[in-house]
């Protein structure tokens, strides 16, 4: 049998198995287990104050490897506060989230923004090798540890925990919602179903943006499919979901956004905005209102109408 024919049969067999597995509740949740008793080894350094919010550079030990760095935003008034995880897109870093972290923290939340594993190592965020799968699992474990960190703080109410992530951070939130059971609510901003969904057409074919041979594509899909976020989001309940999408999104297709929305459980609110991938000011006000309803933070007021205090930005890049 010719080699190309053998590869084709193997690929079809793997695809059939993955499709069947994706339609069941048998998910490899064991991949995301970690030692909850390991010390956090937390470090903390105050680096500034903005609009009554103290900004700290922080790090903690990863249960997998090395350390996780990020920023912690703490209101200057007395708590206890809600606790919110704030996750960046790809490419991106926790530092990029400073305007959003301040914007949220001013309303009575301790906000923790951590660096994804690709931000810690530098270079291209997506490698299109099985290493992407390893990093995604590491990311989920590191985020669970971030929840441990928030809960360990005496100024955080463990019953008022939430998550907000945009683009790649939104997709990772869909996966995290299927793993982590301690959060009350998630805001998924311009999210799709994961890396495979992001780089696939409506027919399920990988885009030409993926610079791989047939064999390399097979290996990458086999590594990523078991942990594709769209397979996990149905487990988000009883946590609530607020899903924000853009009608003119240049990075996430309407089809991909809708597929994730359809896979989500009933306890969700979906809102579409007449905007591009960066969304608009109203989307940030809506996030404040959502956390007010779900976590008891303060409601948005007149000072919030202009949105986070972002610096002038260049045209957005078409990355997840």
Instruction: Give the 3-state secondary structure of 206-244.
Output: ECCCCCCCHHHHHHHHHHHHHHCHHHCHHHHCCCEEEEE
- Tally DSSP H helices, then E strands, for the chain: 9, 9
**73-116: pLDDT as tens digits:** 999 999 899 999 999 999 999 999 999 999 999 999 999 999 99
pLDDT mean over 166-186 = 98
pLDDT band at 6 (very low <50, low <70, confident <90, very high): very low
160 — phi, psi (to 5°)?
Answer: -130, 70
Q: Is a pLDDT exceeding 50 seen at residue 182? A: yes
Alpha carbon separation from 193 to 159, 242, 259 (Å, rounded): 28, 15, 7
Q: Measured between alpha carbons, how far apart are the two ends of the chain, in Å?
A: 40
Residue with tokens 């590491």: 138
Q: Torsion angle of alpha carbons 177, 179, 182, 188, nearest 10°? A: -10
On the CB side of 141, CA atoms within 13 Å amount to 24
Residue with tokens 């799709």: 192
Q: Is a pLDDT exceeding 90 seen at residue 208? A: no
**30-89: pLDDT as tens digits:** 999 999 999 999 999 999 999 999 999 999 999 999 999 999 999 999 989 999 999 999
**DSSP three-state, residue 119:** helix
Q: Is a pLDDT exceeding 60 seen at residue 16? A: no
pLDDT band at 320 (very low <50, low <70, confident <90, very high): low
CA distance 167 to 180: 19
CATH of 3-299, one of 3.40.50.170, 3.30.200.20, 3.40.50.1820, 3.30.565.10: 3.40.50.1820
Mean residue pLDDT across the chain? 91
On the CB side of 171, CA atoms within 13 Å amount to 26
- Residue 11 confidence (pLDDT): 38
- Residue 307 confidence (pLDDT): 96
Rg (CA), the chain: 19
């Amino acid at each position: 049998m010719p080699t190309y024919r053998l590869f084709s049969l193997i690929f079809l067999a793997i695809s059939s198995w993955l499709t069947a597995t994706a339609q069941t509740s048998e998910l490899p949740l064991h991949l995301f287990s970690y030692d909850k008793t390991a010390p956090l080894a937390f470090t903390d350094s105050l680096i500034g104050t903005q609009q009554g919010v103290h900004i700290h550079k922080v790090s903690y030990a990863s249960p997998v490897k090395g350390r996780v760095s990020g920023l912690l935003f703490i209101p200057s008034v007395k708590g206890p506060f809600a606790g919110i995880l704030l996750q960046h897109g790809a490419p991106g870093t926790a530092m990029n989230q400073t305007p959003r972290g301040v914007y949220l923290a001013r309303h009575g939340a301790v906000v923790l923004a951590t660096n994804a594993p690709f931000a810690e190592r530098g270079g291209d965020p997506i490698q299109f090798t099985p290493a992407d799968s390893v990093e995604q699992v590491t990311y989920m474990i590191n985020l669970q540890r971030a929840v441990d960190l928030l809960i360990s703080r005496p100024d955080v109410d463990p019953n008022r925990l939430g998550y907000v992530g945009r683009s790649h951070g939104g997709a990772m939130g869909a996966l995290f919602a299927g793993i982590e059971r301690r959060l009350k609510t998630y805001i998924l901003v311009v999210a799709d179903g994961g890396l495979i969904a992001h780089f696939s057409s409506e027919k399920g074919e990988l885009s030409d943006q993926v610079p791989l041979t047939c064999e390399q594509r097979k290996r990458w899909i086999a590594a990523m499919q078991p942990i594709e976020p769209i397979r996990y989001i149905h487990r988000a309940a009883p946590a609530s979901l607020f899903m924000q999408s853009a009608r003119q999104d240049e990075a996430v297709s309407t089809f991909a956004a809708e597929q994730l929305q359809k896979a989500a459980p009933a306890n969700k609110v979906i809102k579409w905005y007449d905007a591009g991938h960066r969304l608009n000011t109203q989307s940030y006000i809506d996030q404040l209102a959502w956390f007010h309803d779900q976590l008891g933070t303060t409601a948005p007021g007149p000072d919030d109408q202009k949105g986070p205090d972002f610096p002038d930005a260049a045209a957005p890049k078409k990355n997840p």
